[in-house]
Amino acid sequence: MATRLRYLVIRLVYWLCWPIMFFILRFFTKMQIIGKENLRNIRGSAIFVSNHESYFDPYIIGASIPLFSANLYPVYYLTHDILFKNRFLKLSLWFFGAFRGRVSEGVEKAVEKPLELLRQRKTVGIFSNWCYKKEPEISRVQEVISVLSIKSGAPIIPVFIYGIYNGGISWKKIFHREREIKIIFGKPIYSDKNMSTEEMTELFQQSLARAKSTLIKIFHEKEKKFWSHYAKFYYHLEKSDPYKKLLSDFKDNLPKEISGKLIDLGSGSGAIARLLVEKSKDAKLKTEIFTTDIDPFMLNYLSDIFCNDENVKIKKADLALPINFQDNYFNCVTANLVLPYLIHHRGEIGLKGFIKLLEDIHRVLKPGGHFIWSSPKKKVKFLKVFTASWKNVLDPKNLEHLYYGPAILKQALQIQRKGYKIIYHFLDVKELEKILIDIGFTDIKFTKSMADQVNIIKCKKI
């Protein structure tokens, strides 16, 4: 009787909370749900297996399950035992159907409760190795997922949530629209009674990786279109006084002597590469400069302006992938207003991907080599850059600026919005300094530029 009463209470809580959370998340975070069709044909119980970044995750999953899949409500979550020590939290967890994981007691104990729920045609949610951080619990919880699927016949539904990790999340950040959430449901994975737990574990881990990969592909194509559009008129920005000041300050941060192998990441129209060429003319040793970009329009542009310079090599490079050079290869790496815009790198999304990209740059840089790059500051206001460019916009000798000035501002405000929502990574000086030090950079120096809306960062590899 008590079990039946609890089930009714939990189901009532879900039905009351679903429309509220759905509205809040859709309105304030523009929550996008991908792969809803993968839930359409599931009629019995299921096992949701998801990454786990915050206490909002169960709400996000719950609000993302469509009404046509109402048979999947409510979701009972396997939860770390330590959370039940707090009386208030324990009561809250009870209302939302959470139960003790008992993973520390072994796999046999951990599967008892969720297997009972699945056999009652109820849905279970497990946050895999994201809830348990240390061995042997990580291995045990993955085995629990496989055992549950094999013994119950319930499908495993891989879930990947994006938009939570970067800098944490709170109700305040949600209501201030500082987050943009995406959730993807992968294709269900059905077990085979003859499968071993190891085989099933490998299968569902692959399905989780595919769900994440699908989201990365969506991001990648969307970003390529966004920057490809900007590339067609970006060079007009370089004619503005604030941008000229940025280039001047960037030049001042370059090493006094440049030689050896250099690379400019995301070269665009080649402004920084031109600085490197100019600076390397007096070098006593031979200099080899790589200019890189992913956009065909920009690559053709770079080929035209450097066609007569044998020291400059044009290379197509996608910064979402590992930098395709060996360790300790470059004497200097530069990047101007490009690195913070990378949403993913080497399979990691968000801030984790940005940090991996900086680690990759550290890898290809020689000990003692310089890394000079720029980033919009935290809470950047690109309107100030536009205001500081009013003479350029209203220049009677260049009437096309009347069109391209507002077009650039429109693009810049979209970039700014993504920065505010932590899609792009506009960090403050202390945050950047900590990340760079942790990676292994030293002699870190910051210079404000471009109407004080951009930081130029200069550092060295130890």
DSSP 402-420: HHHHHHHHHHHHHHHHHHH
pLDDT tens for each residue of 68-92: 888 898 999 999 888 888 888 888 8
Q: What is the pLDDT of residue 146?
A: 94
DSSP character at residue 72: G
**For the chain, where do the domains classified as CATH 3.40.1130 start and end?**
2-225
SS3 label, residue 290:
strand
DSSP character at residue 7: H
Here the tokens at position 114 are 């969720």
**For the chain, where do the domains classified as CATH 3.40.50.150 start and end?**
232-461
Q: Which residues of the chain have pLDDT under 50?
A: none
CATH superfamily of 232-461: Vaccinia Virus protein VP39 (3.40.50.150)
Strands 287-293 vs 260-265: parallel, antiparallel or unpaired? parallel
**How many angstroms separate the CA atoms of 58 and 280, rounded?**
56
**How many angstroms separate the CA atoms of 175 and 307, rounded?**
52
Question: Between vectors from CA 309 to CA 306 and to CA 314, what angle results, nearest 5°?
Answer: 50
Q: What is the pLDDT of residue 70?
A: 80
Peptide bond into 255 cis (omega under 30): no
The residue among 70, 85, 132 whose CA lies nearest residue 107 is 132
424: which residues sit within 8 A by CB, 6+ positions away?
340, 341, 343, 376, 415, 418
Q: What is the pLDDT of residue 166?
A: 64
Residues 401 and 239: beta-carbon distance below 8 Å:
yes
**Assigned fold of 2-225:** Glycerol-3-phosphate (1)-acyltransferase (3.40.1130)
Q: What is the pLDDT of residue 101?
A: 92
Residues 60 and 31: beta-carbon distance below 8 Å:
yes
Here the tokens at position 319 are 């910064």
3-state secondary structure 341-387: HCCEECCEECHHHHHHHHHHHHHHEEEEEEEEEEEECCCCCHHHHHH
Strands 260-265 vs 312-316: parallel, antiparallel or unpaired? unpaired
Here the tokens at position 77 are 């979550």
Q: What is the pLDDT of residue 18?
A: 87
